[in-house]
Amino acid sequence: MEKILIIDDDIQLSELIGEFLESFNYDVYSKHNPEEGLAFLNETGADIVILDIMLPGMDGFQVLRKIRKNSTIPVVMLTARGEVTDRIVGLELGADDYLPKPFEPRELLARIQSILRRSQSPGSMIDVIKFDFLTIDKLKQEVLLEDEVVHLSTTEYEALLLFAENPGKVLDREQLVENLRGITWQSYDRSVDVLVSRLRSKLGETPANTRFIKTVHGVGYKFIGKSK
């Protein structure tokens, strides 16, 4: 049974979400302050975290920073504000999805199912893609840059895989939004650009040193890694 950790100080909402998700055979745990949530995650673990931004003592962004120091567990962030800036900050810190309050429980369920499917399903992961300096092991869902492991969030990994499986092809923002199904961005939303920027940074790229993902101005992005 897949384990979901909810970190939200709204006790009533956490209970409602928990009851709903448990009816779909998920094992749900709720923690109402950041310290308890982080302690549970470190000691017990989970398959996915539902993380509220507005928390006492430590906001959701700070919690996400701590999680990302040693874990690539999928994280869905919740906020009552729903501002584009919050989504961008969340993505920069490695969130996998973003859902503004209020929301329909079935929408949250759909996001969870999509992310877990992408992060755990071995479908078509039967080989290794190799480029100069970069290796993507689809079976392990592992990325190596010059033989060193690169820690990517689920969405960052899916974006890299999408680029790598379409080498030399220009992918516009609408194509990225369409193929990264766990995210409900708009094609004009800067979140897409932030995701790609974060991915490029983790691949060691700078504006003066582009080895893998090239910006095609006014259109989108193109993968230019050299196959081995």
Q: What's the pLDDT score for residue 50? A: 97
The per-residue pLDDT for range 112-149, each reduced to its tens digit, is 988 887 666 544 444 788 999 999 988 778 899 999 99
How far, in whole angstroms, is CA 29 from its chain's centroid? 21
Q: Is the pTM of this model over 0.75?
A: no
Helix (H) / strand (E) containing 220? strand 220-223
Sorted by where each begins, the domain ranges of the chain are 3-120, 128-223
Q: What's the pLDDT score for residue 195? A: 87
Strands (E) across 89-219 are located at 97-100, 128-131, 134-137, 142-145, 148-150, 170-172, 213-216
The per-residue pLDDT for range 16-65, each reduced to its tens digit, is 999 999 999 999 999 999 999 999 999 999 999 999 999 999 999 999 99
Cα distance between residue 59 and residue 169, in whole Å? 40
Cα distance between residue 71 and residue 76, in whole Å? 14
Residue 184 has pLDDT above 60, yes or no: no
The answer to whether 88 and 190 are in contact (CB under 8 A) is: yes
The answer to whether 130 and 169 are in contact (CB under 8 A) is: no
User: Of 2.70.150.10, 3.40.50.1220, 1.10.10.10, 3.40.440.10, which CATH number belongs to 128-223?
Assistant: 1.10.10.10
Output phi, psi for 158, to 5 deg.
Answer: -65, -40
How far, in whole angstroms, is CA 85 from its chain's centroid? 17
Size of the chain, expressed as the number of residues it contains = 228
Nearest-CA neighbor of 57 among 40, 37, 34, 31?
A: 34
Give the 3-state secondary structure of residue 115. helix
CATH H-level, domain 3-120: superfamily: Response regulator (3.40.50.2300)
Strand pairing partners for 170?
Answer: 222
Residue 204 has pLDDT above 50, yes or no: yes
Cα distance between residue 52 and residue 88, in whole Å? 15
